[in-house]
Chain A
Amino acid sequence: MMKDKKFRFNLNFVNTNRSYFFLALILICGLFMKNFYTAYNVCAVTGNGSLVIWLGLGFTICLIAGHMDLTVMYMSTLGALLCLGLHTINGIPWGLSILLATLSGVAVGLINGILVTKFKIHSFIVTLGMQFVLKGLMYIYTGGAELSIGRDYALNDALNAKVGFLPFSLYFVITTAVIFLVMVVLRYTRFGRNIYMVGGNLETAWLAGIKSNLVTTLTFTISSTACALGGALNGIYSGSASITMGEKGISPLMIALTASIIGGTSIYGGKGSVVWTWVALVAIAFLKSLCKKTELQVLVIAAILILCIFYETLAQYRKNKVVGTRPNLHLEYLEETGKKA
């Protein structure tokens, strides 16, 4: 005889997969919008949102390791300016320009990591200061001027072009490939598991024999490298770069932070996924196409963020309430004695 099972709405399932639900909600709303589901729109929206995905990647990795990297935005701008400057001013080929721009990210990441691990300065302070250092460097390098690709449209067209039959630009496909590569590293390699352990409980990780300083330094390096590479590619994709990129309008750093939280990454460290952040950022990118007014976009993103934080707080409160207790004691008794619930 089949037991009648009551349907219970599993809020926990929704919370765990909230970034997917967010994306699904946006895509469903898009069904009612004219010209939302066109190949051009999907290609443009995802391409334009790719820079923030790189920032989200860097920010999320550091957050999982229990740190904050506030340099993500300026690192990407520096990468873009270096790449464009080296090619258009110094005549260096695109490949080498991108490589050199990426290496600048490696250098900055190493410095951040060393300052945090060896000098024991909080990552918030280190990266806050590094932001201004990077901005100063950019002013020295460019003199305040904006850099562009000039008439060299070949690589720009290639990054903007659709990949085969997919309605996605090459830039977005490269971004997504890197995200999934990092996901594989985080989930299936020892180094990746170490990042989670260091973020979850630093002392326990150290006691377990994990070289937490090395892991932390490498995390910052990966973050800055990703942002520099993403910035360099974005500079070519969009055709120009300036120091004030992202300073007006909604800050890409704030979007990356918001998406990391909406995606489910814990700000205390030890929990998160770059894929969740990617899904949240793709949803935000499509949201920009749905809500044309900037103010409306900010309102929607803020509403989603508030809901997420509210649920997390409530869940934490409920968890703390039953710490040390056995809330299902009555149910356990009924099962043991064979009586019906």
Chain B
Amino acid sequence: MKKYIAILLAALMLLSTACLTGCSSSKKAAETTTAAAAETTTAAASGDTTTAAAAADTTAAAGGAADESKQLLQKAIDTIMTTDNHKMMDAGTTFDVPKATGNADALAKLKDTDTNKWHYYEYLDWDTSKDAQFPTSAGDGQKGKHVILIVHGAHAWTTCYQDAFKKCCDAVGMTCDIYDPNWDQSTQDGYVDQAINEKPDAIVVIPVSADHASQQFKKITDAGIPAFCSNTLPEADAMNYIMAYTGPNDWYQMRNLADKLGEELGGKGGVAYITHNVGTSPYYARTYGPMSELAAKYPDIKHLDVQSPGFEASAVKQVVSDWITKFGNQLNAIVLADDSDQAIGAVEACKAAGRTDIVIVAAGISKQGAELIQSGDLKYASYQSCQADAGLAVRTVSEYFCGEKINRVSYIGTDIISKDNVKNFLPCQW
């Protein structure tokens, strides 16, 4: 008992001493900063020319640093290219958000094929009056700044993204640390806390879960650190705590893909859908985006089934085989959320059943997807540049540090890949 108490007391003492030390250092640093600021203000108010001149020198230095940073940024924008020879740090695009026809609860009651139902999923339509107090940029440029990137999980795509992010950071003079929670929400929460503890100049997060994003970004913004969201669309409410979102417009890409599919089918036929991970933003975008687009423009097209077998080729093959057995000639097209393993499974199932007439389209673009397009097994794929995704994030963060006005929402460019133009998108990025 005595031993137990002694050990506990020792541990508590160690912790308390260490924490108090940590607290007092932070307090001292804060006091020093406040005192310095007060001194500058007092000096300026009393007309102390020496201090005012020093302040002017500081401002000039900041302006000089920003100019240098802007030059670095411009050089990076002009020179860095993706592996498929497109600009990596190209400017993003924005879309006007149409007026919603009702609130979220009312729209949720509509049919899945109704475009209006998906308004709050498709558009980041948030109440800007509830925006948090965002930290103001010092306007001294991005050179020398430290950024922490928290991705969602290990995947070939993520590796490509991380490499591109680092490359762009190096080019513009920023340093970065990258944390990978391996698709675990609680691990990502832990990394968010660790990142805040490191006190970087900015934090970029690819959220594991769109619904949980609000809490994560709120923590970062409450800590006074600029928070940026990349790639995965967060829930609209999270935008109140996000400086800027950059990434693909999944809904727009998939609607374009659906238009091409509709043309290919001649406005008739049956379509089935293989989804992304249930509950994620691509789940909704890559299933209900094309579904509602086809329903709006090609009302004669029937929507046969929606399944979520995951990303294993064998599981997808089984599902598609079952569809072919169940629907027979009614099945004319398949929309896939992924052009790699899912596409392989779907193509194998169609070939095994002798149904090479089924049109397969997918969200892309991976090496396997490109090969399938070249062979003609995959008809169309949407183009979503992983490296440009990272590049746009770095560009937006840099522009923020340079004191420039940034869009709250920016999307990367997109295209539709077919056999005719696939060579323009080679070699694939991941």
- Using a CB–CB cutoff of 8 Å, the interface residues on chain A facing chain B are 17, 20, 23-24, 27, 30-31, 35, 37-42, 44-45, 48, 51, 144-151, 153, 156, 167, 238-240, 242, 245-246, 248-250, 275, 288-289, 292, 294
Q: Which residues of A contact B181 (CB under 8 A)?
A: 249, 294
Determine whether the beta carbon of A248 is less than 8 Å from that of B182: yes
* Stretch among B55-63, B69-77, B207-215 lining the A interface: B207-215
Bound-complex Cα distance A144 to B209 (A): 13
Q: Is the CB of A238 within 8 A of B198?
A: no
> For chain B, what secondary structure do more than half of its interface residues adopt (helix, strand, loop), or is it mixed?
helix
Q: Which single residue of chain B is at the shortest CB-CB distance from A282? A: B11
Interface residues of B in 230-285 (CB under 8 A from A): 237, 278-279
Contacting residues, chain B, for A38 (C-beta < 8 A): 19, 22, 26, 197
Picked from B19, B183, B184, B198, the residue with its CB within 8 Å of the CB of A39 is B19
Partner among B19, B196, B214 whose Cβ is within 8 Å of the Cβ of A167: B19
A20: chain B residues at CB < 8 Å are: 7, 11
Q: Which residue of B lies closest to A246 (CB)?
A: B186
Q: Is the CB of A249 within 8 A of B11?
A: no
CB of B278 within 8 A of CB of A144, answer yes
Is the CB of B323 closer than 8 A to any CB of chain A? no
User: B-side interface residues toward A, CB under 8 Å?
Assistant: 3-4, 7, 11, 14-15, 18-19, 21-23, 26, 153, 179-187, 189-191, 193-194, 196-199, 209, 211-212, 214-215, 218, 237, 278-279
Contact B194 A289 (CB under 8 A): yes
Contacts of B279 in A (CB 8 A): 144-146, 242
Known: A48-B190, A240-B209. A27 touches B215 (CB 8 A): no
Interface centre among B182, B209, B211, B218 (most CB of A within 10 A): B211
Closest to B219 in A: A160
User: Is A240 within 8 A of B212, CB to CB?
Assistant: yes
Q: Is the pair A17, B3 in contact by a Cβ cutoff of 8 Å?
A: yes
* Alpha-carbon distance A150/B214, docked complex (angstroms): 8
B15 touches A42 (CB 8 A): yes
Q: Chain B residues near A151 (CB, 8 Å)?
A: 214, 237
- Tell me the complex Cα distance, A51–B21, Å: 28
| B14 CB contacts on chain A under 8 angstroms | 27
Contacts of A245 in B (CB 8 A): 185-186
Q: Are A238 and B179 in contact (CB under 8 A)?
A: no
Check B187 against A238 for contact (C-beta < 8 Å): no
Q: Please measure, in the bound complex, the distance between the C-alpha atom of A167 and the C-alpha atom of B15, giving whole angstroms.
A: 9
**Taking A39-B23, A167-B19 as contacts, is the C-beta distance between A248 and B184 under 8 angstroms?**
yes
Q: How far is the CB of A187 from chain B (nearest CB, A)?
A: 10
B278 surroundings in chain A (CB, below 8 A): 144
CB-CB under 8 A from A24, the residues of chain B are 11
Cα separation A39 to B14 with both chains bound (whole Å): 13
Q: Are A153 and B218 neighbours in the complex by a CB distance under 8 Å? A: yes
Query: Which of these, B179, B194, B215, contacts A41 with CB under 8 Å?
Result: B194
CB distance from A250 to the nearest CB of B (A): 8
Name the residue of chain A whose CB is nearest to the CB of B215: A239
Q: List 17 A-B contacts (CB under 8 A).
A: A17-B3, A44-B194, A45-B190, A144-B278, A146-B211, A148-B215, A156-B215, A167-B19, A238-B186, A240-B215, A242-B211, A245-B185, A248-B153, A248-B183, A249-B183, A250-B184, A294-B187
Would you give the shortest CB distance from B278 to chain A, in whole angstroms?
A: 5
Q: A40–B198 Cα gap in the complex (Å)? A: 10
Q: Are A249 and B26 in contact (CB under 8 A)?
A: no
CA separation between A35 and B19, bound complex, in Å?
11
Set of chain B residues within 8 Å of A41, measured between Cβ atoms: 193-194, 197
Least Cβ–Cβ distance between A75 and chain B, in angstroms: 16
Given the interface pairs A38-B26, A148-B215, A242-B279, the reply to whether A292 lies near B179 with Cβ below 8 Å is yes
Q: What separation, in Å, do the CA atoms of A275 and B1 have in the docked complex?
A: 13
Rounded to whole Å, the gap between the CB of A81 and the closest CB of chain B is 13
6 interchain residue pairs of minimum CB distance: A249-B184, A239-B215, A44-B193, A37-B18, A240-B212, A248-B183
Interface centre among B183, B193, B197, B198 (most CB of A within 10 A): B197
Docked CA distance A128–B3 (Å): 38
- With a CB–CB cut-off of 8 A, which chain A residues contact B153? 248
Bound complex: CA of A37 vs CA of B19, how far in Å?
6
